[in-house]
Amino acid sequence: MAHDFDLFVIGGGSAGVRAARIAARHGARVGIAESRFWGGTCVNVGCVPKKLLVQAAEYGAFAEDARGFGWNSERPAHDWGALIAAKDREIARLSRVYREILEMVGVSVFEARARFKSPHELLVGEKSLTAERIIIATGGHPVRLEIPGAELGIVSDDAFFLPAMPRRIAIVGSGYIAVEFAGIFAGLGAETHLVYRQPLPLRGFDSDLRSALAEALADDNIILHPKTHPRGVTEDGVGRVLHLTDGTTLETDVVFFATGRVANTTGLGLAEAGITPTASGAIPVDSARRTVQPHIYAIGDVTEGRHLTPVATAEGHALADALFGPGPRPFNFAEVPTAVFSSPPIATVGMTEEEAAHRGPAEIYLTLFTPMRHNLTGRRRRTLMKLVVEPPRGRVLGVHMLGEDAPEIVQGLAVAMTAGASKADFDRTIGIHPTAAEEFVTLRTLTRVAGVSRAAE
């Protein structure tokens, strides 16, 4: 049977656009449908606008810190409306670019919702189309807690379009989104509360990083409420009141739920395609990203796994190469670097101390210091750097950093990790002085050995 397309992609985010573009460059007849905005969550209501807001918050701190270097500066008033307007212009430009690069390589673009009518047939808007292969790349969306009054709060999508800067905000959660927006709103002058169930923020990250981040958040006047659960939200005039299980009530302008995301699978017609999602709504796939239907694939945040934009993009690229090109590109999905644009930021690649210790002995090299600039500014801001090393070979298992420029520094070290660098390779590398980054190649003193008791067992 002849099909309208060799490949049809449902979803115009980072994963879908990359898959469609690469497949088209390999000569495939490709169609793609997107019903909301080109570029998906990351470009429109995720990592890109969020980092712009992080940078906006940093400028206020720069103005204060400049006094330590002899500048007679005062922290100016911030114009939230001007920031959001500038952000909107840049996001509109980027979203337009995503569509244009598809059209440049001959992809048929549909601004419509797509759903399955059968395993090979799709209803795209009002038009029925068939495809030999189909990729589902519809991403995910944020969710609120199921507590009374949750509808009175916002989620991350809403935060980018607030009509005014809140004077008081309570953020529920302690993952990437929660700690990043806590830094944004505190940096722009809001009274900021961070409410979370765990004793420390960023569950799953290295424990030293988590402890150092909690200290840094408190130093930036973010009011922490660890080991605390929200019970409900009520209205107080135009404001909101967040009720906590410890009996505390927080009077705020905005309650912000940063409490997780779920896959966008509702309305896709998965039953008609013969696909059953998991209990959480995600689409199950094998290592080749195939669903139970061998011609239907799913990539990115609509599946279970590491929900990071570069991972989704790499999955899309590798899948298009596998289907229409010379074979899958060999990305390193085992050691994925990631960053949290908190204040200060975190970056990490490889195993945490806890993960390494679970396998056996692990050598830990750790340093904690005040960056040079803050010896003059007087700001309480420390940098933490950590290497997790496997004895006796000395292979570096994990690199972790909290501090200014951490994402830029660790991206380079991720290349070394992918190449299998050892601690000896770090030690014989000459540092750039004076930088914070040179500390990674001058860590000589072993801090401790983790996992010894487990190895003895």
Catalytic residues: 433
Q: What per-residue string of b and e applies to 413-451 under the rule 16 or more CB within 10 Å gives b?
A: bbebbeeebebeebeeeeeeeeebbebbbebeeeeeebb
C-alpha dihedral, 171 to 173 to 176 to 179, nearest 10°: 40
Query: Of 395, 417, 267, whose CA–CA distance to 350 is shortest?
Result: 417
User: How far is 200 from 186, CA to CA, in rounded Å?
Assistant: 19
Q: DSSP label at 431? A: P
Cβ contact 91:42 at 8 Å = no
| Dihedral angle sign, alpha carbons of residues 294, 300, 306, 311 | positive
User: How far is 210 from 65, CA to CA, in rounded Å?
Assistant: 25
Cβ contact 324:297 at 8 Å = no
Cβ contact 40:16 at 8 Å = yes
Cβ contact 274:293 at 8 Å = yes
